[in-house]
Every structure is written in C-alpha cells, then in structure tokens.
Structure 1
Amino acid sequence: MTARSKARDSVVEAGPELWREEWLEPFLEHLSKERRLSDYTVRNYSTAIGRFFGHLEAAESWNGKLGGVGLRDARDFVIEEQRRVSRVTLRNYVSGLKTFFKFWIRQRKVERNPLDGLILPKPAKKLPIFLTQQQVLRLLRGPTLLLEQEIIEPFIAWRDRMVLELLYGAGFRVSELVNLKYGDISFEEGVARIVGKGGKPRICPLGKVAMTALRTWKSEYAPETGYSDVVVVSNSGRPWSSRQIQLLLKKYLKLAELPMDITPHKIRHSYATHLLDNGADLRLVQELLGHSKLSTTQIYTHVNLGRLKAVYDRAHPRA
C-alpha cells in the first residue's frame, strides 16, 4: 500500500455508526443543497445506504474503511436484501449506493466503486395499472356529490375537487402537488411550471376544468395564512402532506366504488394512458410527464397496444 493510500484510508475510517456522521451526512447534504433533490428522494438514498452499512457491520468482516468495501460485500448485500424487498426496490438501493460511492470518488476519498460489475436480477415487467376514462369521471364527481348531499362543506368540496382535478388534469406526482405554489402557476396561460424528479423542470398544462377549480378555490375558499402561497392546505392554512393526499383519494375511490389499490401515481398512469389513447404523440407525453428517457414513457404504449389487440381479437372475424 502506498503512503498516499494509507493517508486516504486513515481519513475515511469510521467505527460503528460513525459512518453516518463521516460519510452519509455530507453525501445527503450534497443531494439536498447542491443537487436540490426532494426530501423524499434524499430519504430513499439514506435508507439504501443505511441498510448497506448495517449489513457490513452485522457481517463483522468489514475493516471499517470506506476503501475496504468490495464487490463481494455488495453481492452479499444483494443476496440478503432480495429475500426482503422487491426487485425494483433492490435496484433502487444499488443505484443509490453507486451514486454514494461516485460522490466519494470525486472527493478523492476512495479510488474505485465497489458496485461496478455487480449484476442484478432483471425486474419483472409490469404494465401500469390505470383507471378507464369513465372510472375517472366517477372519481372526479365525488366532491360535487357530497356537497349536493350536504355531507361536506363548500371549503372541503372545492379543495378536494381541485386536488383530484390537478392529479388527473396535470399528471402531477403527489410530491409535486403538495409542493405546488401559486407562484408556480400562470393563471393567464393555464399552466404550471414544475421542478420534478431529479430537479428536472417542466411545464404542465392544467386544463380548463382544473383551472376553474383552482381559481374558485383561490378566490373564494383558500385561507389567508402565513402559508398562503401553498396551494393545497387545511382549513387552518397548513400545507398538506403526501399522506393526506393519499387518504383523500382513498375516500373518493370508496365513494365511487373503484379499486382501493389505486394510488396518486396510478392516477398519473391514467393521465398518460388517456393522452395516448386519444392520439397524443409519445414524445409529447414524455415531456408532460417529465421523463428523462423515452423508454420510461414507452411502457404506456404497451398498455395502448394491448387494448388495441383486445379490441381486434373481439371484433375481427379471423382474429
């Protein structure tokens, strides 16, 4: 070992749990402040790295040095975790760990990435689950029905209507919706300027119905508080969490007698699928969703082609 390598290892050695302070916290600060990733994404990185170092400590074969982590450690971690988590989660863990080690390579604290060369099991291909257009209409009618029956107050009805219309009308991720501010919205143009996953900016058309709900909410019902620039708030004016959006959706799924496993992200799937069903160009849908890669959006064409084939099989005499 060279004198330079010895010096490097002495800097990056940490005892039990000290790795959090020495290596994890500076990395998370880099993600949050320099890359400006969302709190949700930063937590996911933290979980992946925490589980990996927990595995290393439990194995008792690790020398406590960042440069002492090897490919075998990574393989053992994958073998252990694949019994516990899905393939998709496992791939996210490994992606997060690769980013973590790349960061410390750039800081000249380690020389190599121990996850290079790691082969993962391929994730099972799943088609997105979505609602039909008729099912979405039933869902969106929910707040109006409850208001007409005097079960909820106008404040709640307009807020809930706005939330549902923005989820479907703009294809927002739930994290984007809870962080939406009036300053992000052009009421003249009917669009919102969003900074999405990975800090990627995009423009989202909101649609006439969503804009009507948004204008009514803002002008007549939104409470004036210190959080008044945040769009989705409680009656006390406090910003909503992602969990509150999820619970609101569950409430109206139950009312509309729709599958209870539909999530805000599956409403986003419905948004994309219906755009393609009605002739939208794939690259336009990619832009609207904020996908970096076209391949991420192409899964919706599989849904579309599957439905076309089902119609063909039912209708064509020689199918």
Structure 2
Amino acid sequence: MSEELAEKKIPELESFLSHLAGERRMSPATIRNYRLAVGRYLEWLGESKSWSEVEPRTARSYAIELQRSYSRRTLHNRVAGIRAFYRYHRERQAVPRNPFSSLSLPKLEKNLPRFLTETQIRLFLEGPMRLLKEESISDFEAWRDRAALELLYGAGLRISELVGADVGKLELGRGLIRVLGKGNKERIVPIGKVASHCVKQHLHLSHREGARSGPVVIHASGKGVSTRWLQLRMKKYLALAELPQDLSPHKLRHSFATHLLDGGADIRSVQELLGHASLSTTQIYTHTSIGRLQEVYRQAHPRA
C-alpha cells in the first residue's frame, strides 16, 4: 500500500476495521493483514471505479493480477480480507452485491506440518539447563527460558497466548492454565507436571509466588517478554540442539499435536486442547500420525 493511501483515512475501511477489533475481537495481526488486503485493492481500483460498484468480472481481474505476483496462500488471504470487507458493507446494505463471494480460486497446496521428534524435543528443552550447567546463563534466565519452552510444547500454546498468559490464570496445583486464544476465546489447558515445576521455579526466582496478576514469563526487569524475543530465544536453543533454525514456535505446537495423536489421543480432544474452532484444522495432524501407524503396522502385522 502506498504511503499516500496508508495516511489517507477511508471511512468505509476504518469502520470495517473497527468492527473487526470491537465486535469480532480479531487479533491485531489479522486486522493489520485485512487493512493491507483491502488497502491494496482500493489502491488498484484507483479513481477509475468506485469499490461499491465493482462487478464479479473486475473481482476476477484483480485475483488474476494477484496470482501473477503472490503465492496461492497469499492470494487466498488477500481475497478473504476483501470478501469480509464487502460482506460487512453488504449486511449494512451499503453495496448491492459482494463481487468476491463466488470467486473461484486455485486450490491451496496441502503442506504437512513440520514437527520435532520426541528425541529432538528432549534435546531442545534441555538447552537452558545445559547452559546453566556451563555457567553461560543465570538461574533466573535458565528457569525462565525452560518455563517458556515447556509451556509452548507441553501445553501446545500459540506464541501470542504465551506472551499474554497471566499468573492470575494459573492453577499450578491442578496443572492448568487459562489462556486467551483467537477471537478472544478463553480455554483451559493442562500444562503437565514438568511445565508446572518450571513455572513455579520461574515465579520463585522472580519473587512472584502468590502474585495475582502480571505476565507469566518476564524479563529480570519485571516486564513481560515479546513474541520477537521468544522467537530469537528459541533460535538460540535450536542451534544448541543442532536443529534447523527455521523451526518456528508454532512448530512446537505442531509437535505437541502430533505426539498426542501418536500417543493415542482422540482428535476431538486434541482439537479442544489446541483451541481450533473447526475439526478440519486439526485433521491435518492425522496425516502426520498416519505415517506412525503405518510403521507400527509394518512391524507388527504378519501380512504387512
């Protein structure tokens, strides 16, 4: 989006974004992406055509234009934002039609989620204690980092959920935490004995036992950590465990789901633990676990 358009406040776009933030309670990242999607589209239309008068053939032309420059996933994301923009104004009878509603798009490639094996996870999670033993980091840093990593993997939290996690929502005696997920939906997640122990140590070393509020994971200054800080910290421990640097915090979530299914958990339970609104989102992990089932079958069945 050009600087000129970015600075110019378009009432129809601003009201749509306010609706996403206020009524739909979408995340700042999603709102930012929708602003970009609609802003670029309005810029493409320019002065030649009003957005409220666009017909399906113009929508198709724009999709073709996007396809020349972006991946299929970006194309789908951009069109999703524009569709939502038109749907919002259609519901308010501000436009006669949603020209993007029946637009046909190329199918997305189904990329299986990457995940760490249980051995790789163990090596990765041992990183903070290894550095502590080598006296490369302090007790505070070691237990803070271990608590953060254990929560990402042991509870399958999104990185935004971990950054936003509040000590007032912890029930360490029961091994539970309440987190705010996508769409501001709260869910209760088991965190396990190991993660609970690490969190207790982090709270103890930061003198916050019995605290009723505040970020779970903090810097020595008392301020909560950022998503960027967590991403960089994770890269440090990936390098220490000699694992690929492009493995994101979300890959720990993938590992969490895959290991649960490999261990015999039913998919509905995994869906609830991950906070997925739709079962179809969770089902992608079954493809990964099928490989494990096939291996068991080959080793155990006489006709394999």
Using the size of structure 2 for normalisation, the TM-score is 0.91
Q: Which residue, out of 184, 197, 203, partners 2:182?
A: 197
Query: Once the 2 structures are TM-superposed, how far is the Cα of residue 310 of structure 1 from its aligned partner?
Result: 4.0
Which residue of structure 1 aligns with residue 238 of structure 2?
253
Q: Which runs of 5+ in 2 are unaligned?
A: none
Which residue of structure 2 aligns with residue 187 of structure 1?
172
Structure 2 counterparts to residues 1-319 of structure 1, below 5 A:
20-57=9-46, 61-62=48-49, 65-221=50-206, 229-313=214-298, 319=304
Moved more, 118-127 or 180-189: 180-189
Query: Once the 2 structures are TM-superposed, how far is the Cα of residue 142 of structure 1 from its aligned partner?
Result: 0.1
In structure 2, give the amino acid aligned to 1:139. Answer: F
Please give the alpha-carbon distance, in whole angstroms, between the structure 1 residues aligned to 2:9 and 2:84. 16
Please give the alpha-carbon distance, in whole angstroms, between the structure 1 residues aligned to 2:302 and 2:67. 47
Contact 1:176 1:194 in 2 (8 A): yes
Contact 1:178 1:239 in 2 (8 A): yes
- 3-state DSSP class of the match of 1:171? coil
- CA deviations 1:27-73 (Å, max 9, x no partner) are 1111112222221221121121122222222xx632xx331222223
Moved more, 78-87 or 200-209: 78-87
Please give the alpha-carbon distance, in whole angstroms, between the structure 1 residues aligned to 2:112 and 2:150. 24
Please give the alpha-carbon distance, in whole angstroms, between the structure 2 residues aligned to 1:286 and 1:223. 33
Contact 1:223 1:237 in 2 (8 A): no
Using the size of structure 1 for normalisation, the TM-score is 0.87
Please give the alpha-carbon distance, in whole angstroms, between the structure 2 residues aligned to 1:18 and 1:144. 48
Contact 1:228 1:237 in 2 (8 A): no
- 3-state DSSP class of the match of 1:194? strand
In structure 2, give the amino acid aligned to 1:24. Answer: L
Q: 1:19 to 1:121 in 2, by over 3 A?
A: farther
Query: Once the 2 structures are TM-superposed, how far is the Cα of residue 19 of structure 1 from its aligned partner?
Result: 7.1
Query: Once the 2 structures are TM-superposed, how far is the Cα of residue 97 of structure 1 from its aligned partner?
Result: 1.5
Q: Which runs of 5+ in 1 are unaligned?
A: 1-14
Computed over aligned residues only, the root mean square deviation of the Cα atoms, in angstroms, reads: 2.3
- 3-state DSSP class of the match of 1:203? strand
Contact 2:179 2:186 in 1 (8 A): yes
Moved more, 96-105 or 277-286: 96-105
